[in-house]
Homo-oligomer: A and B are copies of this chain.
Amino acid sequence: MFEQHRETLEKALAAIAERGHWSAFPESPSPRVYGEGAAERGREAFEALLGRRFPLDQPGAGAWIGAERSPYGMDLGVTYPEPAVEELVAAARAAMPAWRDAGPRARALTCVEIVQRINRRSFELADAVRHTTGQAFVMAFQAGGPHAQDRALEAVAYGYAAMTASADAARWEKPAKGEPLVMDKRFTVVPRGVALVVGCNTFPTWNAYPGLFASLVTGNPVIVKPHPRAVLPLAITVQVARETLAEAGFDPSLVSLAAEEGQGLATALATHPAVRVVDFTGSTEYGEWLEHHARQALVHTEKAGVNTVVIDSTDSWRGMLGNLAFSLSLYSGQMCTAPQNVLVPAGGIETDEGHKSFDEVASGLAAAVGRLLGDDARAVELTGALVNPGVLARVEGAPSLGEVVLESRAVKHPEFPDAVIRTPVIVRVDQEKSDIYGREHFGPISFLIPTGSTQESLDVLRRTITARGALTASVYSTSAGVLDEAERAALDAGVNLSCNLTGGVYVNQSAAFSDYHGTGANPAATASLTDPGYVAGRFHVVQSRRPA
C-alpha cells in the first residue's frame, strides 16, 4: 500500500543526506501550481467548518469545547470533542502493536500518504492557520502548508533512515573448533510508547508536524494537544491522519486530538505514565517545567531565546537595512526566529556608502522599516495581526525599556477592522542592560545595542545565547576574519548563523531538508528540526536470535 510514495521517500532520504535545496510541496499558492479554484474551494471548506462541531470520530467525554477567536476579529465557533484522557491513552496503547508490527517501511509510506493528503488541503489549512495565528494569508499558506509538510516529510525521512540504518536480520557465523557457530538474528524496531505533541499558538502546524511525524513513523501513537487558541489546523491534521490510517487498515486511534480551552491538559498528559515522548513548542517557563517533571518521557522542547544580529560592516548598506527591516516586520516579529538584539559598535560601521555612525544605523533601520510598512494595505500582508493580547501588552510597554528609535504604529486592516496590528518598535538599550535584552520579548520588539567593538558584540552574543538560548544569529561583515570569528562564536554558543543576508533570504526563514532549525546546543531548544538526535530516542531495537 502507498508504494507510489517510494520515490518521494527516496528523494527525501537523499535530501536529508545532501541538505541542498529540495522541497516536495510547492510553496506557491498560484492556481498554476495548485489548480484553478483551489484557493476558493479551500476558503469554502474552511468556512464550512465555522460555527459547528468539528467532524472527528474519536471517543470523547461527551462535551464539545473550543473558544478560538481569530486575531482578525471573529469567533471561529468551532467545537471539538472534549477528550477523555484515559480513553485516548488506552486506545493509543491498544493501537500500538499492529503499527509496530507493520514495520518501518509501511509506516513511512503511510506517513507520506498522510502528508500528501494534508497537502491537498493546504488552502483550507492556510485559512485555519491565518485565523488562529494572525498570520497574513501567503505566510499562513506557505509556513502552515507546504513548508510544514516539508518538515513533516523530513521527520519521516530521518525516522526511516534511523530505523533502517542497520539490518533487520542477519546471519551470524562465528568460526569455532569443529563446526562454526551459526545464529539467525532478527532486529525489530519497537516504539517508545504513547507520544504527546503540544502545539503552539503561532505556528500550529509547522512546529507540531516534526514531532508528530517523527513519533508516528517510529511506531508511537500520537496524541496532539493544540494550543487552545490554535486548535483548528491541528484538528484538520488529525482528521486527515485518522482517515488515512483507517483506510490503510490501521487503528485510527494512532493519532488523536486532545483539545482544551486552557485547563492545563498538557500537564496531565505529559506526566501520564504511559506517555513516553513529549514534543513541545512554547514558553521557556513551561518547557523547562516539562523537562523537569515529565520524567517518564523523552522530552523535546523548543522554547524562547535571544536571537542576535551582529553588525560589523557591510558592502550593501541598503540591502542590509532592507533585509533586516523585513525580518523585523514579517508576522510582526512573532517568530521564534525573528531577530531581537541588534549589536552595533558605538563608533559606527563602514559600508559601501561610507562610514555610518551608530545613530545613522539606527535611523537607517527605522527608515527602512517605515518604508517597508508605509502603505497600510501592503503592510498587513507582511505583518499579519498580533496573535494575542500578551504581545500587544509587550509592544505597548517596550518604550519604557530604553530610548525609542522607531515607534510602533497601529495599522488598520482594510478587510478586518477588528484585527489588532502593530508595526515593529525598536528601542535603543545600553550594553550593560543585559537584564533587558538578555531575555526574550516575543513580538515586534527589537533592541539596538551599542557596543565597544564587534569583538564586544560577539562576546555579548556568546554570553547571552549560552545563558538564554537563541534559534538564530546573524552577522554582517566585509571582513573574512570577522566572519570566521563570528562562526567560532556561533559554534561556542551553539547557534545557527547567517552571514551577510542582504537579498531574498531572511534570517527568520529555515528551509526544510537544508536548514537545521534550532541546534539543541543552547537553551532555546533540546534538539534540532531535524537531526539524528531528534528521532533516535523515539524507538528501540529488540533482538531475537536462534540457532540457524
Instruction: List A residues at the B interface (Cβ < 8 Å).
Output: 16-21, 97, 100, 161-162, 165-167, 170-174, 176, 181, 183, 185-188, 190, 192, 291-292, 295, 483, 487, 490-492, 494-505, 511, 514-516, 519-521, 528, 531-533, 535-537, 539-547
Q: Is the CB of A18 within 8 A of B544?
A: no
Q: Is the CB of A504 within 8 A of B181?
A: yes
Expressed in whole angstroms, the Cα–Cα distance for A433 and B161 within the complex equals 44
Main secondary structure of the interface of A (DSSP, over half): mixed
Q: Is the CB of A546 within 8 A of B183?
A: no
Q: Is the CB of B531 within 8 A of A532?
A: no
- Which residue of chain B is the closest to A510 with respect to CB atoms? B543
Instruction: Give the number of copies in the complex.
Output: 2
Q: Is the CB of A499 within 8 A of B167?
A: no
Q: Is the CB of A515 within 8 A of B545?
A: yes
Would A540 and B519 be within 8 Å (CB), given that A17-B167, A500-B546 are in contact?
yes
Q: Is the CB of B519 within 8 A of A541?
A: yes
Q: Is the CB of A544 within 8 A of B499?
A: yes
Q: Is the CB of A97 within 8 A of B492?
A: yes
CB proximity of A478 to chain B, nearest CB, Å: 12
Q: Is the CB of B165 within 8 A of A532?
A: yes
Expressed in whole angstroms, the Cα–Cα distance for A18 and B544 within the complex equals 15
Query: Which of A161, A188, A494, A540 is most buried by chain B, counting CB atoms within 10 A of its CB?
Result: A540
Q: Is the CB of B542 within 8 A of A511?
A: no
Q: Is the CB of B499 within 8 A of A192?
A: no
Q: Is the CB of B521 within 8 A of A543?
A: no
Residue among B16, B174, B516, B539 making CB contact with A511, cutoff 8 Å: B174
Q: List 12 A-B contacts (CB under 8 A).
A: A165-B165, A174-B511, A185-B514, A186-B487, A187-B516, A483-B546, A491-B542, A499-B547, A500-B547, A515-B543, A521-B540, A531-B536
- Which residue of chain B is the closest to A497 with respect to CB atoms? B544
Q: Is the CB of B544 within 8 A of A172?
A: no
Would A544 and B494 be within 8 Å (CB), given that A19-B166, A172-B511 are in contact?
no
Q: Is the CB of B546 within 8 A of A166?
A: no
Contacts of A544 in B (CB 8 A): 487, 490, 496-499
Contacts of A100 in B (CB 8 A): 491
Residue among B161, B170, B185, B516 making CB contact with A541, cutoff 8 Å: B516
Q: Is the CB of B171 within 8 A of A532?
A: no
Residue among B495, B542, B545 making CB contact with A519, cutoff 8 Å: B542
CB proximity of A228 to chain B, nearest CB, Å: 29
Residue among B162, B181, B494 making CB contact with A540, cutoff 8 Å: B494
Query: Which of A167, A496, A514 is most buried by chain B, counting CB atoms within 10 A of its CB?
Result: A514
**Nearest 6 interchain pairs by C-beta:** A536-B536, A499-B546, A521-B540, A533-B536, A496-B543, A19-B170
Query: Which of A17, A502, A542 is most buried by chain B, counting CB atoms within 10 A of its CB?
Result: A542
Contacts of A516 in B (CB 8 A): 187, 541, 543
Contacts of A492 in B (CB 8 A): 97
